[in-house]
Amino acid sequence: MKAERLAVLLLALALLGFVAYQIYTVISNIHYGDVELPPNDYGGGAGLGVILEYPDGRTKTISPQSLRYMFFPLSVYMSGEEIAKVTWITYVYLDWAGDLTCLELSGPMEVKANTGALVRKETMWRKTGVNWNMPAKKTWVEMWRFTVDADEIEANLGGQSGTYTLTCTSNVTAKAMFSTGTTSTKIAIAQLSITVEIQAAQLCVLKVDLQANAYK
């Protein structure tokens, strides 16, 4: 009887191990750059990061490098200290097959509050050989950034005390050109939200949420 129970237990453990391995394999294959690319094509995605600067000069950086898998969101809870500036950064991650000769990235990047107020909007544009160097494969690289100080954020929010959500959205259109004359254009949308609180003329960050997005 004990032998039968042991056999059932070992079989259950073996099945559990097999299922866990299959799940791990599927997740690993979804990781950026682990998929096999066809000739003269590319993959990857876009992500956002944020740098919080405190009045005493200290900084806190949260970036998509912290994300191992592109569909896993990352939430970081903050201590609620007063901040002086917020810098939002758009990153791209690329892998390609073939001889990539030129890469052009463009699109809008904006920060809006849950009230509908626009905090900042800029048009991103980077082109290798013009105002950007060719990025390395399978590495997050910075594409664009802008900084908004606390006073400007408070003014855009109407200067009213309360808790708000600021969402930065980057729509990245990537056009790759290869030595064969082949071109390929793809789009990725990345978002990052921060929960802020205005209280007694101070701007504090309570939480940062970010998630990367693959090119489609």
Show the tokens assigned to 120: 């900042």
What's residue 148's pLDDT? 97
Closest CA to 173 of 101, 109, 82: 109
What's residue 189's pLDDT? 94
Q: What tens digit of pLDDT does each residue of 85-110 get?
A: 999 999 999 999 999 999 999 999 99
Average pLDDT over residues 154-175: 94
Lowest-pLDDT choice from 16-30, 114-128, 147-161, 164-178: 16-30
- The topology under which CATH files domain 38-214 is Immunoglobulin-like (2.60.40)
**Every domain of the chain and the residues it spans:** 1-30, 38-214
In sequence order, the 6+-apart residues with CB closer than 8 A to the CB of 122 are 108, 109, 110, 144, 146
What's residue 6's pLDDT? 46
